[in-house]
Amino acid sequence: MTKTPEDAWELICEFVQDAGLRRHMVAVGAAMHFYAEQLGHDPDYWQMVGLIHDFDWEIHPGLDEHPIKGAAILRQRGWDEETIRVVLSHYTEGTGIEREKPVDFALLACDEITGLIIATALVRPSKNIGDVSLRSIRKKWKDRRFAAGVDRDHVTEVTADFSRTCFDGQLDLWTHIGHVLTAMQAEAAWLDLEG
């Protein structure tokens, strides 16, 4: 049976209690949905992958276990091998699963940048992602102490990989960040970033 974003959300509700981690996965799901539409792929499927990619982080909060042990849970729950492969591809260093398909490259390109965008929204007095501009994200990007966990070099590298694989090298970093912001703004209520 094909899984849906609703199935993904059920999985998240079961395994993830932390509101920040839930918000991150919703953000990645929103960005993935956006890019699936742009690239002519199944938006529900891409969103579902974005939603579940870190579902086991709370129970396996180390890269020695995540997402490998999460993959075992997905298998037990009847998730298909292709979806599991995509999830494993977002940490090639630990899983040995290389990125091969557009969905793999999109997932990694959308993953970490959402953290900077969420942090930028949360420091605004309104806490409303609708008030966040690309200009304000650029300012925060330059201050490496802000959202220090977001590895700017890694974001740049995986965005370039995504651009090369899916956009003939025509997707630049700031256009990508703008797309992710737009996708997240469309899900402001679900992200609990409406102010």
Q: What is the DSSP string of 61-119?
A: -STTTTTHHHHHHHHHTT--HHHHHHHHHTTHHHH-----SHHHHHHHHHHTHHHHHHH
Ranges of each domain in the chain: 5-185
Q: Which residues touch 126 (CB under 8 Å, ≥6 apart)?
A: 195
CA nearest 81: which of 18, 89, 118, 126? 89
> One digit per residue, pLDDT tens: the chain, 195 residues?
689 999 999 999 999 999 999 999 999 999 999 999 999 999 999 999 999 999 999 999 988 999 999 999 999 999 999 999 999 999 999 999 999 999 999 999 999 999 999 999 999 999 999 999 999 999 999 999 999 999 999 999 999 999 999 999 999 999 999 999 999 999 999 999 998
The verdict on pTM exceeding 0.95 is yes
